[in-house]
Structure 1
Amino acid sequence: MQKQGLALKWLLLGALITNTGISAIWPLTTIYMHEYLHKSLTAAGIVLFINSIVMVGGNYLGGYLFDRWQPYRTLLTGITINVFATLILIFFHGWPSYAIFLVILSFGNGIVGTSITAFATMVKNQQSSYVFNVLYFMNNIGIVFGTLIVGFVLPFGIQYIFMLSMLLFILFWIVAALKFNVLPERKRKKYDKGPAQLPKQNKHQIIGLMLVFIVAWIIYAQWQSTISAFMVSHGMTVKDYSFVWTFNAIVVVTFQPVLTHFDAFLYRHIKARLNVGFLLFATGFVVLIFAKEYWHFLLSMGILTLGEISAFPSVSTYVDSLVYESQRGRFQGIVNAAASFGRAVGPLVGAQVIALSSYHSLFVGCVVALVVFLLNFDIILRRSRTQKL
């Protein structure tokens, strides 16, 4: 029997469980393939790229099924794929089975990720902007827990990582089966009814924002790929690089609740929040242009993380405010697919720019690209206001 609206606590619990399970697996890919399966770093990079592209497909399919089939069954299907993939990986984690089932897991995770984001629009008695803020916070907590688990469990064997992740996915399946069979709570009036086609100005705003979002994720991916080598070239260690991500988590955990506390004010000024967030993102890379000492990298990550927690949750909120009730899943799928695509091509773009020029050219290019696309988005916003008058 379907209930009216979803309780926020179940959405957050589901996000925490699934992100912990996934985050215990992804950090191992490069290390496991290179050190245990004796494959080249290029091969590991190709597998990660394929995973990200397949996740784009999972994101989009998840959104399509969420709207056209049934949200509840769509989520359960994605979790079932995750359970199946991790079950096989417990017993078959050699080559090429590891890569094959990692790709299948990525596809399932794409469906689950979009479903969770789309379910955020169905939480009862809460403004969607507030839900997206606390959901983003919980996703990051899951990532912290997942990466911490790796260090404790991996020494016993990688099969125990997959076993733990599978148990977490089974737990989420049970929670979803019991608590996620809900009907949407129709809170909005403006876009609840109407033609299937969105107004042109809404489409243009979404396209402009997605281009900014893709560029931001391409830039963010440099921290997960090229910047580690840049730091080592400046005499820093892998441990130093690892702590930068610990610092990232500290900033998220400290400041995300502050933004959530002022959610009502920030929602009224969501366009300004997007602009400030993405400009902070660009400023983080301005610092990298001049970075030589370790504290420069910490400062860069701190500024970028403030931009991340300001802009990224707002993207989902802003897109949701522009679409009809019947299209929420599809467009949240597009948001997740844009992030996955940026993560996929980011390391390739960074490596090519460095090969043809230098790290500094890459950092300058990141700043210029993000500012240009953000200006384009602002021009679209001004034109949309003019068309409404």
Structure 2
Amino acid sequence: MRKGLHTMTILKNYPKEALFFIIASFINSMGSALMWPLTTLYVHNVLHRSYGDAGFVLLLQSLAGIIGQIVGGSMFHKLGVKKLIVGSLILTSIAQVSIIFISSWTIYMATLTFLGFLMSITMPAINAFIGFHWKEKTRELFNVVYVSNNVGMAIGSTLSGILATISFHLIFLFNGLTTFGFALFFLFLLNKVTLKDTQIYSLGQQSQQVMQTPKELLFDYKMYLFIGLGSLFVWFSTSQWSSGIAPYLDEQGFSMARYSFLWTINGIVIFAGQPITSFLNRTIIKSLSSRLVASALFYAIAFVFMVFFHHYYLDFIIGMIIATIGEMLIAPTIPAFITERTGLAAPFYLGVVGGFGSFGRLLGPYIFGNMYDYYGVIPILTLAAITSSIAVLLFLIHASYHKEGLEQLTS
């Protein structure tokens, strides 16, 4: 009872529209999580293609995602937040439902590539919207949205394994409907945005900062380069879950539901483990930069553990728990750092850094998928451990340019 009252007290600290946004984002993430964990298995088991082919289509999707992130960040002020977010979400929902009617491998690849572009357009735009519209609660909201989204993903991932045993078409349909609902929510919300907010979102080019050319913004490499490269190596390493662990469990005779349950564990840890990360943030890693270093350390520890222990299903559960702590630190920290440090140029930098992360997701499935076809799971886990360790070094360089981050980590 007290826990419920405490939760209600926390929620009352946010504006009603922020609470509605959290709920809408939760539903959308639940729908999205139905499809992505099972893409590799859908390609192999339904379309009857190799794991390497599955990695290739995910590579194309991530390549389109890089372009989408950059386009979304660059067009935020020029096109306007309403047209950018609502328009891309509606097109995304149409593409998601259309997969039901696709049997051609070529058309399927083209559709997933287009989906990668559309979904990535909204990422920097939505993060920038949070940073601009609820500026006084940016850090808190990024974390709350992250947690609620992952609870939705955990539920969606669990349902995906169940629905997949009935029909993959149910997954694509529900995914499209939740995305369309998210588009309608944003349309309703943005129609209520004040004139002042609209000017900030759509006429930001009046600011001298936004008037800078992309080349001029990119010249400030200390703001984005090492945080971007670090995220690239982190997200590359995490691709082993879908392109290494998924086929490994499948070949070991585990059902799709057992693989999906790993993502349920992920969601449970994200929700229940908030006191752990809150304690770390208050005591050991107080700055945003130091949290990035710590996140990569947790990923490295998780993947090193699984290099030596991967013969039992419990080993992957333990690995997922450790890696999830790293995810809890990095996911809300990157958008918080960029929106706090770059002002009205935040959409552009969010797109650039997001592009780095998408490039990691691009390389991961293709490399890991082909590695699994020829060498099995151990080399994949080893490479994931190495790349996440490289991310530790890159985030340390980033922290050195933002002294408070390095001092908090070493004090």
Which deviates more from structure 2 when the two are superposed, residues 314-323 or residues 122-131? 122-131
CA distance in 2, matches of 1:382, 1:340: 28
Superposition map of 1:98-113 within 5 A: 98-113=108-123
Partner of 2:149: 139
Which deviates more from structure 2 when the two are superposed, residues 75-84 or residues 356-365? 356-365
Superposition map of 1:76-155 within 5 A: 76-124=86-134, 126-155=136-165
Give the deviation of 1:163 after TM superposition: 2.5
Partner of 1:374: 395
Structure 2, unaligned stretches of length 5 or more? 1-14, 201-205, 407-411
CA distance in 1, matches of 2:400, 2:289: 12
Partner of 1:29: 39
RMSD of aligned residue pairs (Cα, Å): 3.6
Amino acid at match of 2:291: R
Give the deviation of 1:310 after TM superposition: 1.2
Q: How many residues align?
A: 375
TM-score (norm 1): 0.82
Partner of 1:291: 309
Amino acid at match of 1:271: S
Of 335, 338, 345, which aligns to 1:316?
A: 335
Give the deviation of 1:329 after TM superposition: 1.7
Give the deviation of 1:213 after TM superposition: 0.9
Give the deviation of 1:48 after TM superposition: 1.4
CA distance in 2, matches of 1:300, 1:310: 16
Q: Cα–Cα, structure 1 residues 352 and 149, in superposed 2: closer, same or farther, change >3 Å?
A: closer
Which deviates more from structure 2 when the two are superposed, residues 58-67 or residues 292-301? 292-301
Q: Cα–Cα, structure 1 residues 203 and 194, in superposed 2: closer, same or farther, change >3 Å?
A: farther
Partner of 2:288: 270
1:217 and 2:227 are equivalent in the alignment: no
Partner of 2:10: none
Q: Cα–Cα, structure 1 residues 126 and 110, in superposed 2: closer, same or farther, change >3 Å?
A: same
* Identical columns (%): 24
Partner of 2:11: none
Give the deviation of 1:72 after TM superposition: 1.3
Query: Does structure 2 retain, via aligned residues, the 8 Å contact 1:286–1:367?
Result: no
Structure 1, unaligned stretches of length 5 or more? 187-191
Partner of 2:321: 302
Query: Does structure 2 retain, via aligned residues, the 8 Å contact 1:11–1:119?
Result: no
Query: Does structure 2 retain, via aligned residues, the 8 Å contact 1:54–1:106?
Result: yes
Structure with bigger helix share is 2
TM-score (norm 2): 0.78
Give the deviation of 1:14 after TM superposition: 3.3
1:17 and 2:24 are equivalent in the alignment: no
CA distance in 2, matches of 1:49, 1:139: 24
Instruction: Give secondary structure in 1 for the equivalent of 2:273.
Output: helix
CA distance in 2, matches of 1:7, 1:143: 22
CA distance in 2, matches of 1:89, 1:34: 16
Q: Cα–Cα, structure 1 residues 241 and 159, in superposed 2: closer, same or farther, change >3 Å?
A: closer
Partner of 1:189: none
Partner of 1:56: 66
CA distance in 2, matches of 1:329, 1:6: 24
Instruction: Give deviations 1:116-139, integer Å, cap 9, x for gaps.
Output: 222211333642111110111122
Q: Cα–Cα, structure 1 residues 277 and 201, in superposed 2: closer, same or farther, change >3 Å?
A: farther
Query: Does structure 2 retain, via aligned residues, the 8 Å contact 1:134–1:257?
Result: no
Partner of 1:226: 244
